[in-house]
Amino acid sequence: MDLGLAGRVIVVTGGSSGIGQATIGLLLAEGAQVATCARDGERLQRVWNGHQAHLHLAACDVRDVSGVDDFIHATAERFGRIDAVVANAGEGTLSTFGEATPERWLADLEGKVLGAVHPVRAALPWLRRSDAGRVVLISGLISREPEPTLVTASAARAALANLARSMATELADDEVLVNTVSLGIIDTPRQRVIHASSGSTASYEEWAADWARRRGVPLARMGRPDEVAPVIALLASPLASYVSGADVTVAGGAGRSVH
């Protein structure tokens, strides 16, 4: 199946690790040109050393409006177009309502909502000009099913889901299609950080299998980034031309809400 990505220019935020990295690898293999950013520019360069011919790299925090504007501007200057934005950058944040400080609330709303808004807003003139403008917002199952230890992240993801509906409706006038991907537990470096801070004496593999069971994942394991990337690539591609305002769950069967 040809996704029609050859020659397309796709922005993927947070491309130095995990899901962003896997998605960029797939997009490049499909012939797309990609621009990506992360806060740690040195790690980004290390990860993508040798791929710069079709890849624009920038050290940029998605919460920083002018940094994001510069990143998008440089992408358009270099490649001459932008067809899709995948808002993926983000980090896991554990907190109950009782523990969450005002700073924690602000950080999650900035990171998980405005961190998606800024790159899409900056790229909007280019997306409108494309004949296959796409926005893919990476979110979590927690937007519908909040986790007790992820209260601020869950609320921020719910706001993003709501925003995605508004964007899908408004941008349909310009044929820019907007969808979210709601993830369950995906085995990326952030899970190792959670394991390290969990106090568990089990190996990472034992802890991961147990956590998937405790979170009620029917497939009884975490997902892999390479199992998420094809879903993102399809939604970012010209082939997905009649899907907008949808939320695609990639969670190994987890998620009990009917919506």
Q: Answer yes or no: are the C-beta atoms of 181 and 136 closer than 8 Å.
A: yes
Residue closer to ligand NDP (CB basis): 8 or 112? 112
- Give the gyration radius of the chain's Cα atoms: 18
Q: Tell me whether residue 19 or residue 136 sits nearer to ligand NDP (CB atom).
A: 19
Give the footprint of ligand NDP on residues 130-189 (CB under 6 A).
138, 140, 183, 185-186, 188-189
Six-digit token string for 22: 């896997």
Alpha carbon distance 249, 254 (integer Å): 9
From candidates 10, 20, 58, 156, binder to ligand NDP by CB under 6 A:
20
CB of 77 to ligand NDP, least distance (A): 20
Q: Site mask, ligand NDP, residues 202-241, x = CB under 6 A? A: ----------------------------------------
210-to-22, 83, 189 alpha-carbon distances in Å: 25, 40, 17
Strands across the sheet containing 176-183: 55-59, 33-38, 9-13, 84-87, 133-140, 176-183, 247-250
Question: Which residues are CB-neighbours of 77 under 8 A, at least 6 positions away?
Answer: none
Binding mask 103-122 for ligand NDP (x = CB under 6 A): --------x---x-------
Asked whether position 61 contacts ligand NDP by CB under 6 A, the answer is: yes
Residue placing its CB nearer to ligand NDP in the complex, 9 or 229: 229
Supply the minimum distance, in Å, between the C-beta of residue 88 and ligand NDP.
Answer: 5
Widest Cα–Cα separation across the chain: 54
Binding site for ligand NDP (CB under 6 A): 13-20, 37-40, 43, 61-63, 88-92, 111, 115, 138, 140, 183, 185-186, 188-190
